[in-house]
Structure 1
C-alpha cells in the first residue's frame, strides 16, 4: 500500500450489522471520521455504543456474524472494507496494528514472551532468526521492560498486568505501522500503571509519527490524550471535533451527560461536612495481617493500619493491586483473622468472634462486590437472590419476606417486575442494584463496597453512586468504600486511607488528602487521575451540563 497526502484512516458512511438467526441487527449506522498522520483520535462511548465494532472493522476482525453492510474503510487511501482474510493478514502489523484491552487474555499462556514478540517479525518474513532475536530484545527494551533478556524467556503468568501490556505494545509497534488501534488499552490496570502505559504509547507515537485510534469509555483519558473526539451512542456519532472544543462546548445532550457523569472530569462535589459528633462505628487500630509462605516464611500483607469511621459516614480505602486494601476489609468483615491489632464495630470486638457469635455479626456487616456479572447466581431469580439472606438469618413468614424483598427492590430504584427474571436478563447497572438490595435487606449497620462501581459504564456508575448517597442519607448507613479510583473516592468519601505495600501512607478527611497529601505515593496517585489537562474547559462543560452554578 502506498502513502499519500490523504488521511491514514478514513471511515466513510460505515454501517455494520450482526446476524441473529434470520435477522440482522444493525450496530453501527452511517459512521464517518478520519485520522491524519500522527494524530490521536478517540472513539468514546459506553458499552453497546459501537466503538469496538468500528475499530474491529478497520482490522477486518469483526466477530462471528459481523458484516460491513455499507460504506468504506480507506487505509492510506485504499478501501479495505471488502478485502478477504489473506489480504488483510498482509497489512496487520506492517500497516495497522492493535493494542488489545485485556493483557491477561491477549497473550498465549504456553509461549514465552519473546517467542510471541518474534512471531510478528517472522510472519512477515523480514528478518533472520538471529536478527529477530536481537530485535525482540530491542523492542522489549524500547517499551521499558526491565531485564528484557529475562522477560523474553518468561511466560505471561510471570509478568504483572503492566508488564504484559508493554509486551502487547512491543508487538504492536514491531513493524512500525502507520496506524495503531488501542482498544481500552489500560482499563484493566491500576491508575499509576495506566498513566505510565499511556505515556509510553504517546512517546512511541511521537517518535515514529504513528497515528492512533484510541477506543475508550473514559472521557478523562480521551480529554488528556486525544487531538479529536468522536462520541458514539447506539452506533451513531453524536458529536465530533477537536478535543478542547468538544469539552468546552459540547453540542449534544449525550456528550454533556457523559461529561457530567465522568468522575475524573467532575467538578468537585460539595459533600456535607463530616458530623464529628456522631459516634465512631468502625475502629481499626494497628491492624496487622500475615500470611504463611513456603519454607516457614511469612508475608506481611497489612502492616499497622489504623483508622476510624463515624456512624453514617463513608470511609474510602484506596490503593493499587497488592496494597492490602481487600485483605483489610476481609478482616473487618470477619472473613480473615488478624495477626495483630484490633477491629471494633460498635460494641463488637471482631477478633473475639467465635463460630457462635460470627453468624449474628454477619447481619451487621454486608458486602457488595466488584463484578455484578459474577456475584449473582445465574440460576436463581432476582427474588430468590434478594430473599436468600432473610432465609439464612430471619425466620420470617413467607408473606413478610416477600414484602421485605419487594420494598428493598423498589428502594434501590428497580421495578418489582424484575423479581421474576434471571440475572442475565438485567443490565450491569440493574444487577449491581440487585447486589445492593441483597446487602441491605438485612438492614445492616455497615456496608462494605469492594470496587462496587469499577465494572460499570460512567453514566451507570454515576447512577449507582447517587443511589448510594441517597440510601446513606435515608437509612443512616456507614460505608467502607474500597477503590483504586481517586476520582470516584473524591465524590463519595468523607475520609480516606491510602495504602501502599500494606502500610497506610495517608489518612484523613478526603479534601485534606487531595489538597495536602503527606506522601509521595498519594501525590503520584492524584497526579495519575486522568482529565487534568483541560480543567478550565471542564468547568465550562460542567456548567453547560447544569452540574455547577
Structure 2
C-alpha cells in the first residue's frame, strides 16, 4: 500500500484515520468479553487527538486494535478502521507489517521493554529503514545517526553504539520516537509516551513530538490518563469509560463545559488542572505545639562506593525540619536523592555523616531493641500497591503481620485491631479473607496504608504512594490521607515527582537536585516565588497550565 500525499488529504478534508463502530473483545476459554463498544472518531492531518480515561476504560485496547497489535486473546469483533481512506480492519499481520512504521507508527509506553537489550541503538533505528527498503548498510547507519540527532540526543554517534541499558529513560523514549518518525508516517499513536518520565523530561518529549508533528504534518493519537497533558497538547479530546465514549469534541470546549458526569469528575480530580493548595484544618490537632519538630534532618551526607572510580555522593549536605502533624514533601527528578534520604530517615541505612532526629531521638545513637521499637513510630507506604502486597496472604494476614512482629497480643486482640484499622481506611470487613488480586488498585493502596497504621505510628513515609493510581482513585486516597492526618495527628513525609499533587497535600517542601537541597520552605511560598532556577523549571513543566480550572464544590461532587 502506498501512502497518499498528506497535504492532498488535508486539502480534500478527508481524515487520516476514520474509525467507525469499533468493537474489541478478549477471549477467555470459550467466553468473549467485550471491552470496547462501538466507538467512532476521526483524526485529521497535523491534529492531536487525545484518548483519555482511567485504567480499564479501553484506551490501550483501542490503540492496539488500530495498529493490529492486540495481545493474545484480543479480538477485533467488528468495525472499520480507515487509514488514508483504506479500511485496514481485519488485514493479516503480514499485510499490516507493510504499513507499520511507514504509514502508522506506535510510540509505546515503556521504553525499557520496547527496545532489544542485546542490540545497539543504531542497529535498532537502522532496522526500520532496512525493513521498509529505504536504506541499507552504511547508508542506513548514517541515517540512523541523523535521526538520533534530530530527536535531540546528545552525541548521537556515541548513542548509536550504546545499548538500551546505557541510556536514561528519557533518552530511550527519544530513540522510540526516532524509530516512529523515521519514515515520516501519516499517523503516530503515542500510548502513554511519558507516564514513566520525570516532569521536565516529559515536557521535552512532548515538545519533540509537537515539533516533529508540525514539521511533517503527522497526525497524533495521544493515549493518556494525564488530563493535564491532554489539556495542554491536544486539539480534540475523546473521553472513554468502560469502553464507551462519554463525549468528544474540541479540547477547549470540553474543559470549559464538560457534558458528562464522568468527564466532570475526571477534571475535578486532576491535580494539574486544579491548582488548589492544601486547606488549613478547621480543627487543628491539639497536641501540636509551636516549633514542635518531630523530624530533624541535619547536614545529611550519603556516599556510595563506585568501584574503581572512587565514591558517588547521592545526598550532599541536606537539612530540613518537619513539624508534628504536618506534611513535608520531598520532590525532585530521578537521581535527585529522594529515595536515599527517606531510607536514612526511616533508619534503613546509616548516613556517611550528618544526623537524623525522630521525636528527639538521634538515630545514630540507637541500637538493637531500641532501634527496632523506633520503627513502630515511622512506617512506609510504597508506590505500587500491585507489588507491595504479598499475593499469597489474605488481607487479614497482610495487615496483621506487623502486629506479630512488634506486639504481644492474643489472636482475638490482633483480629480486632486489624478490623478497626481497616475501618479507619474505609474498607469493609468482608474483604478480610480476600487476597490482593481480588481488590482494585485503590483498595490495595488502602490495605497498604492500613498495614502501616496498625502499629499506631506517628510518622508515615509515603514513597510515590499515589503515582501508580488513576486520577479519581488518586483523589480518593489523598482525601483519605487528609482525613487520617486530621483524626490521628499523623505526620507525613511525602515523596513525589508530581508537583501538582504536592501543592494539594503538603504544608512544606524540600526540592532536591543531584543530591543537593536547592530550596525548602512553605509550599505556597516555594510555588509562588521559587528562588532556584531548577525549582522554576520543575514548576513550569507541570502540565495543565494552558487550561487552569476553578474548582467548585458542585464540580467535585458531580457524578
TM-score for both structures, normalised by structure 2: 0.96
Give the Cα separation in 2 of the matches to 1:168 and 1:451. Answer: 26
Moved more, 17-26 or 348-357: 348-357
CA 1:542/1:43 → structure 2, altered by over 3 Å: closer, same or farther?
A: farther
Give CA deviations for 1:133-181 in whole Å, capped at 9, x if unaligned.
1110110000000010100000000000000000000000000000000
Q: Does 1:44 align with 2:57?
A: no
Q: Does 1:210 align with 2:223?
A: no
Give CA deviations for 1:308-352 in whole Å, capped at 9, x if unaligned.
111100000001000001100000000010111111011211111
Structure 2 match to 1:201:
209
- After TM superposition, give the deviation of residue 546 of structure 1 in Å: 4.5
5+ long unaligned stretches in structure 1 = none
Give the Cα separation in 1 of the matches to 2:132 and 2:554. Answer: 51
Q: Does 1:473 align with 2:486?
A: yes
What secondary structure is seen at the aligned counterpart in 1 of 2:42?
Answer: strand
CA 1:401/1:330 → structure 2, altered by over 3 Å: closer, same or farther?
A: same
Structure 2 match to 1:32:
40
Conserved 8 A contact 1:72-1:80: yes
CA 1:119/1:296 → structure 2, altered by over 3 Å: closer, same or farther?
A: closer
Structure 1 match to 2:502:
489
Structure 2 match to 1:288:
301
Give the Cα separation in 2 of the matches to 1:546 and 1:78. Answer: 43
- After TM superposition, give the deviation of residue 295 of structure 1 in Å: 2.4
Conserved 8 A contact 2:265-2:557: no
TM-score for both structures, normalised by structure 1: 0.97
5+ long unaligned stretches in structure 2 = none
* Residue of structure 1 aligned with 2:151, choices 138, 143, 150: 143
Give the Cα separation in 2 of the matches to 1:328 and 1:353. Answer: 18
Structure 2 match to 1:433:
446
Structure 2 match to 1:14:
22
Structure 1 match to 2:133:
125
Structure 2 match to 1:312:
325
Q: Does 1:170 align with 2:183?
A: no
What secondary structure is seen at the aligned counterpart in 2 of 1:264?
Answer: helix
What secondary structure is seen at the aligned counterpart in 2 of 1:420?
Answer: coil
Conserved 8 A contact 2:265-2:556: no
CA 1:220/1:379 → structure 2, altered by over 3 Å: closer, same or farther?
A: same
Flag as ranges the 4+ runs of structure 1 deviating above 6 A: 273-276
Conserved 8 A contact 2:277-2:524: no
Give the Cα separation in 1 of the matches to 2:384 and 2:3. Answer: 46
What secondary structure is seen at the aligned counterpart in 2 of 1:351?
Answer: helix
Structure 2 match to 1:57:
65
Structure 2 match to 1:321:
334
* Residue of structure 1 aligned with 2:431, choices 418, 428, 431: 418
* Residue of structure 2 aligned with 1:458, choices 471, 481, 486: 471
Give the Cα separation in 2 of the matches to 1:520 and 1:323. Answer: 15
Give the Cα separation in 2 of the matches to 1:174 and 1:544. Answer: 48
Number of aligned residues: 545
Moved more, 352-361 or 93-102: 352-361
Structure 2 match to 1:78:
86
What secondary structure is seen at the aligned counterpart in 2 of 1:405?
Answer: helix
Conserved 8 A contact 2:107-2:177: yes
Conserved 8 A contact 1:249-1:544: no
Give the Cα separation in 2 of the matches to 1:13 and 1:547. Answer: 32
What secondary structure is seen at the aligned counterpart in 1 of 2:98?
Answer: helix
Give the Cα separation in 2 of the matches to 1:194 and 1:395. Answer: 49
What secondary structure is seen at the aligned counterpart in 1 of 2:70?
Answer: coil
Conserved 8 A contact 2:275-2:504: no
Structure 2 match to 1:158:
166
Structure 1 match to 2:197:
189
- After TM superposition, give the deviation of residue 131 of structure 1 in Å: 1.5
Q: Does 1:223 align with 2:223?
A: no
Give the Cα separation in 2 of the matches to 1:544 and 1:86. Answer: 52
Conserved 8 A contact 2:278-2:507: no
What secondary structure is seen at the aligned counterpart in 2 of 1:269?
Answer: coil
Give the alignment of 1:374-453 within 5 angstroms. 374-453=387-466
Give the Cα separation in 1 of the matches to 2:134 and 2:491. Answer: 62
Backbone CA RMSD of aligned residues: 1.4
- After TM superposition, give the deviation of residue 231 of structure 1 in Å: 0.2
Structure 2 match to 1:179:
187
Moved more, 299-308 or 495-504: 299-308
Give the Cα separation in 2 of the matches to 1:10 and 1:494. Answer: 48
